[in-house]
Amino acid sequence: MNQNSFSPKARWDRFEPDKTGFNPDALGERIEVLALFKNAKIFPKSFVWNNKEYQIETITYNWQERLGQAQVNYFSVLSAGQMYQISFNNSTFRWQIDKLI
Amino acid sequence: MILHVDMDAFFASIEQAINPRLVGKPLIVGSRGKKMHTVVCAASYAAKALGIHSGMPSREAFSICPDLEFIAADQGKYIWTSEQIFDLLKGYDLPLNYASIDEFQLDLGSYPEPLNLGKKIKEQIYANFNITASVGIAKTWLLAKLASKLNKPDGLTLIDDSNFEQILRKTSLDKLCGMGGKIGANFMAGGLKSCWDLYLNLPEFFSQSYDNSSKSDENPGKSSERPKSISHSYTLPETKINPQVIRAWIRLLSEMVATRLRQQNLVSATVHLWLTGPEIGNFGAQKTYQSATNDGYEIYQRSLKIMAKSSLKNPRIRAIGVTCGSLSQGIYQPLLSEDIRREGLIKALDRINNRYGEGSIHPAITVLTR
């Protein structure tokens, strides 16, 4: 195996939208989530945001990112025709809504 | 045989997998959030069909298609997906090369049914990530990469003895890896239009990459050979005049280059700095030193000395590049206590960045680049 040529960890020049100034799309609000933890994977089923419950119909994509010691699991989900990005921080156990997609 | 996996419009495809509303639409992924002041770092196939391509200023892309969908790049998800695909390919237990964020090469050796394997890999990638890949299979990495480009998107192409001449005849030279720039333009100006023309005129080029395939098979990827130089460059969102900010970018690029040198256990004796801007034009100069280094701070200091050669005081700068050449294996043993301490510091920083991602700990001045 040869990994000399490319390092996927090279993140010096990564774009960090939230750190470049005011981002009107960023929500970062805490939400309550009902989720299934199965086979070392997380499947959010519904979430409550601003006292309203949203049933998750589809998880279209999920990915992970390390932020310091924490690992954050991101999910793009569809609920009632609207796409949302939500995330779970496995260090703080906080679920939050990141943005409307 | 080499099997080359090339993801189709990788960043744009991931964004379309995330948001199905974008599927089939012309979409660009911009390297920054300001949609009219960035460059296209990925374009969907619908956008490519309109003539929009990577590297194009976003303003130009919007002038071609005002209704273009725009997403600011979020490298975390692309890197994660790339790593997952790499892990998936590791499952085949074949020599594997991580060629770039969206390219992977498997050395199949004498694997009995390469086309079936290519099909299976494509299916697995689609099932796991809902994105497509194009696969090329050939005797060498160069031809396998070419094969992967021939039937994009979602292609599966085998180049073997039976179709070698036919494919090279109908493939224009600029499609061949390494022929897209000045070298290819020079060949084309000299009358070489197709890959077959190159094969007829420079058989040694292909004898390395095709006939002597057993030699190449030892190195499934070109990258397993020692590189001639390592460089990083960056185009700023707008022209900058603040010397602190310009120095911060040079420091960042120097650190990025130095990190890659250390990852490959290389040291560099030559530093080349180039700057572009309205007053300075295309400034570029290099200097070779007796002592080779892979310390980002040292490369930065050498770059500053090169920059001082420019007669202009505080010119406006738009793009910056740092290149390290004259590479050799890093066998340098520090003798002075200050150098030993410095090396210990660099090792500690590398350990932190290897664990938490590059740039997790960084020189303070580079904060000005964020």
pLDDT digit string, tens, across residues A5-59 = 555 555 544 444 444 444 556 788 899 999 999 988 899 999 999 999 999 999 9
Q: What is the CATH number of domain B7-76?
A: 3.40.1170.60
pLDDT at B174: 77
pLDDT of the residue at A1: 43
pLDDT for B212: 39
Is residue B224's pLDDT more than 50? no
How confident is the model at residue B18, as a pLDDT? Answer: 94
Q: Which two tokens stand for residue B124?
A: 């697995």
CB neighbours of residue B239 within 10 Å: 14
Residue B125: pLDDT band with limits 50, 70, 90: very high
pLDDT in tens, B75-99: 889 989 999 999 999 998 888 888 8
Contact B204, B210 (CB under 8 A): no
For residue B219, the model assigns a pLDDT of 42
**For position A96, what pLDDT does the model report?**
94
Q: If DSSP codes are grouped into helix, strand and coil, which group holds residue B288? A: strand
H or E stretch including B13? helix B10-18
- CB pair distance less than 8 Å for B232 and A15: no
Whether the Cβ atoms of residue B58 and residue B38 lie closer than 8 Å to each other: yes
Which architecture, in CATH terms, is B230-369? 2-Layer Sandwich (3.30)
Name the residue of chain B whose CA is nearest to A2's CA. Answer: B97
A contact test, residue of B75, B89, B217 with most A CBs within 10 A:
B75
Q: Are the CB atoms for B94 and B106 separated by under 8 Å? A: yes
Domain ranges for chain B, please list them: 7-76, 230-369
CB-nearest to B72 from A12, A17, A19 is A17
Give the closest of B21, B263, B370 to A16, CB-based.
B370
Would you call B264 and A74 a contact, using CB atoms and an 8 Å cutoff?
no
Residue of B nearest to A17 (CA): B33
Residue type for B6, please? D
Task: Please give the average per-residue pLDDT across B315-338, as a whole number.
Answer: 84
Residue B215 pLDDT level (bands cut at 50, 70, 90): very low
pLDDT tens, residue by residue, A57-70 = 999 999 998 877 78
Of B58 and B334, the one with more pLDDT = B58
d(CA B88, CA B312): 52
Distance CA B5, CA B135 (A): 5
8 Å CB contact between B37 and B31: no
Q: Are A6 and B252 a contacting pair at CB < 8 A? A: no
Concatenating the DSSP letter of every residue in B19-33 gives -GGGTTS-EEEESSS
Work out the percent of chain B whose per-residue pLDDT is above 90: 37
- CB under 8 Å to B341, separation ≥6 — which residues? none
For chain A, what is the radius of gyration of the CA atoms? 15
Q: How confident is the model at residue A2 (pLDDT cuts 50, 70, 90)?
A: very low
Is residue B103 among the annotated active site residues? Answer: yes
Question: Mean pLDDT throughout B294-310?
Answer: 90
pLDDT-derived band at B12, boundaries 50, 70, 90: very high
- Structure token digits, residue B293: 């280094």
Residue among A15, A61, A66 minimizing CB distance to B72? A15
Sign of CA pseudo-dihedral B332, B336, B338, B340: positive
Compute the nearest-CA separation of B119 from chain A (Å): 22
Of B75, B220, B260, the CB nearest to A15: B75
Q: What is the distance between the alpha carbons of residues A90 and A98, in angstroms, rounded to a whole number?
A: 16
Which chain B residue has its CA at the smallest distance from A18's CA? Answer: B33
Nearest to B44 by CA among B68, B64, B78, B75: B68
B356 CA to chain A: closest CA distance, Å? 6
At a CB cut-off of 8 Å and minimum separation 6, what does B117 contact?
B3, B92, B108, B111
- Helices B337-356 and B243-263: crossing angle in degrees, nearest 10, is 90
pLDDT at B81: 94
Q: Give the pLDDT score at A47.
A: 94
Q: Which residues contact residue B275 at a Cβ distance below 8 angstroms, ignoring those fewer than 6 apart?
A: B283, B284, B307, B310, B315, B317, B319, B320, B321
Give the percent of chain B with pLDDT over 70. 92
Q: How far apart are alpha carbons A5 and B264 in whole angstroms?
A: 8
Of B95, B130, B252, the CB nearest to A1: B95
Contact B306, B325 (CB under 8 A): no
Domain ranges of chain A: 25-100
- pLDDT recorded at residue B221: 42
Rounded to the nearest integer, the mean pLDDT of chain B is: 85
- Residue B220: per-residue pLDDT: 42
What confidence tens digit (pLDDT) does each residue in B269-291 have? 999 999 988 888 888 899 999 88
Question: Which residues of chain B does A17 touch, with a Cβ-Cβ cutoff of 8 Å?
Answer: 33, 72, 74
Cβ-based contacts of B358 with chain A (< 8 Å): 7, 9-12
Q: From A101, which residue of chain B is nearest by alpha-carbon distance?
A: B19
Which entry of B60, B69, B83, B103 is annotated as an active-site residue? Answer: B103
Encode pLDDT of B229-251 as tens digits.
898 988 887 787 888 889 999 99
Q: Which residues of B298-332 are buried (b: 16+ CB within 10 A; e: fewer)?
A: bbbebbeebbeeeeeeebbbbebbbbbbebeebee
Selected residue with higher pLDDT from B26 and B194: B26
Contacts of B73 (CB under 8 A, 6+ apart): A15, B11, B29, B30, B31, B32, B41, B42
Contact B86 A64 (CB under 8 A): no
Q: Which residues of A touch B (CB under 8 A)?
A: 1-17, 19-20, 23, 60-61, 63-66, 68-69, 74, 76, 78, 83, 101
